Amino acid sequence: MNFHPSIEAFSEDGKTYLVLTIKPQHEAIPLRGSFYKRSGSTTVRVESEELKAFIMKMDGLVWTNFISKKAKLSDISPEAVSTFIKRGQEAKRISPAADPNDVEGVLRHYKLMTDEGITNAGALLFSNDPTNISYAAVTKIGLFSKSRSRLLMDHMFEGPVIFQPDEVMKCLIDKYIQPRYDIEGVYRVTKHRYPLKALREAITNAILHRQYMASEHTTIRVYPDSVEIYNPGGLPKGWTADELPKKHESNPANPLIAQAFYDVELVEAWGVGMSLIQDECKNAGVPQPTYEVDDYGVRIIFKSGPWPYDGDDIMEQSAAKELTPLEAKIYKAIAESRYTTAKDMAISLGVSPTSVERSIASLKESGLIRRVGSDKKGAWECARPSDV
C-alpha cells in the first residue's frame, strides 16, 4: 500500500514485544482495487471526481492542461480574448505585435489550443460560461450577521476566469467592505478596514490554484470582524499550513492559467504572493492572516484591526435619543459603510425600501448624514459633529 510503519522492539518480564506505529496518511491508500482515506474517525472510499483528481495528482498530471471534450472555438468570447491582449500590452508583458482580434492565434500561442482542440484552461479563461467546463469555476461572496449564522447579502461570479479576480474585488469593495473617509489637514483620506492588495492577492491565488475538477466554489465570507476566503483543492504534496507564510518556490496548480494571469498583472511574480500578503498586513497594522488546510481545500482568514469608524462612536448622544429604532440602525449601517443602496439596507434590515428612504430623508434633514458624489454613483456618509 506504499507506506511503511515504524517497528520497535522492547523486552519486559522475559518477553519481547514489537510495536508497530502507523502515522496518519494524508493521501488516499490503494487496497484491493479501490482507494481509501480517513474522514474524521472513519475510513471512507474515494469515489468519482475526487478519485480522478487524486490519480492525476499522483501521476503529475494537470486537468486544466487537457483538451476539453466540450469546448469549441465558437464558445470562446472574442471580447474576452481582445481585452486580455490589450491589457497585457498596456502592462508591457504581451508583445505589441500580438493581434487582439486573432482568437485562435492567441489560444495557440498560450498553448491553450492544439490541433486536437481547446484545453480546459483555455475554455475556463475565455468562455462566457466556464461552468460548462467546470462547476468549480465560480466565486461567491456572502455577507453574514454578527452571529455568523444569517446570510444578509450575496453575489456570484461565473464569467470568464480571466476577469473574475477584478470583478470579485470591485464588488467586495463597493458592497461588502466599503471604505470610510476622514479629513487629515485639508485633504479627504480614504480609510480601508483591510489591506486591499493583500485581499486581491488572496482572491487571485484562490481562483488561480483552485481544483477545477471539484464541484465546490471559491467562497468569500464577510463577517463584521473578518474576511474568510475558502478555496477547493489541497496544497502541493508535502506542504502544510505552516509552509504557506514562509518563502517557497512557485508551484501553480494550473500553470496555463498562471501564465495568462501573469501577463495581465493579476500576479506580480510567481512565488511571492504570501510574502506580499504578510507585508501588506504588517504595513496596514492589522493581524497577520491565519490559514486552515484540510483534505478538501485551503482557507485564509483576515482579521480586522482597530476600526474606529463605528456609528455608536460618531453619533451625537443628544441626537441618538431622538432617533427611531430604524433610523438608529440605518445610521449605524451608513457609519460602518456596510451597504451601498437603500435596497441593500432594506433587504438586510427586513423592511421596505420606502421605510428606509423615509428614514434616510429624516437623517439627512437632521444633519446626521450627507450625500457624497452623484445620486447614481455616490454614497451616504455620516456627518461628524464638527460638520453639522
Question: Does residue 352 share a domain with residue 253?
Answer: no
Question: Does residue 315 share a domain with residue 280?
Answer: no
SS3 content of the chain, % helix, strand, coil (to 5): 35, 25, 40
CB 176 within 8 A of CB 143: yes
Q: Is the pLDDT of residue 309 over 90?
A: no
Question: Does residue 193 share a domain with residue 217?
Answer: yes
Domain harbouring 296, CATH code: 3.30.565.60
Domain limits for position 21: 6-46
pLDDT digits (tens, 9 = 90+) for 220-263: 999 988 999 999 876 656 566 666 666 656 678 899 999 999 99
Q: pLDDT band for 153, please (50, 70, 90 cuts).
A: confident
Question: Does residue 296 share a domain with residue 327?
Answer: no
Task: Give domain status of residue 284, yes or no.
Answer: yes
Q: pLDDT band for 95, please (50, 70, 90 cuts).
A: very high
pLDDT digits (tens, 9 = 90+) for 314-330: 444 334 446 788 888 88
Question: Does residue 252 share a domain with residue 187?
Answer: yes
- How many other CB atoms are found less than 10 A from the CB of residue 226? 17
Total count of domains within the chain? 3
Helices (H), 78-161: 78-90, 103-109, 120-126
Question: Does residue 316 share a domain with residue 277?
Answer: no
Of 341 and 89, the one with more pLDDT: 89
Q: Which of 285, 303, 321 is the last residue before a domain boundary?
A: 303
Q: Is the pLDDT of residue 382 over 60?
A: yes
Question: Does residue 281 share a domain with residue 317?
Answer: no
Task: Give domain status of residue 212, yes or no.
Answer: yes
Question: Does residue 316 share a domain with residue 215?
Answer: no
Question: How far, in Å, CA of 315 to CA of 122, rounded?
Answer: 53
Task: Give domain status of residue 80, yes or no.
Answer: no
Task: Give domain status of residue 115, yes or no.
Answer: no
Task: Give domain status of residue 61, yes or no.
Answer: no
Domain harbouring 322, CATH code: 1.10.10.10
Q: List, as one string, the DSSP characters of 330-372.
A: HHHHHHTT--SSHHHHHHHHTS-HHHHHHHHHHHHHTTSEEEE
Task: Give domain status of residue 87, yes or no.
Answer: no
Question: Does residue 380 share a domain with residue 292?
Answer: no
Q: Which of 303, 334, 365 is the last residue before a domain boundary?
A: 303
Question: Does residue 340 share a domain with residue 291?
Answer: no
Question: Does residue 257 share a domain with residue 178?
Answer: yes
Question: Does residue 224 share a domain with residue 256?
Answer: yes
Q: pLDDT band for 133, please (50, 70, 90 cuts).
A: very high
Distances (CA, A) of 45 to 107, 182, 242, 330, 342: 39, 57, 28, 51, 50
Q: Is 0.85 surpassed by the pTM of this model?
A: no
Stretch 347-376: mean pLDDT, rounded? Answer: 82
Q: Which of 257, 283, 303 is the last residue before a domain boundary?
A: 303
- How many other CB atoms are found less than 10 A from the CB of residue 137? 26
Average pLDDT value for the chain? 82
Q: Is the pLDDT of residue 87 over 90?
A: yes
Task: Give domain status of residue 86, yes or no.
Answer: no
Q: pLDDT band for 115, please (50, 70, 90 cuts).
A: very high
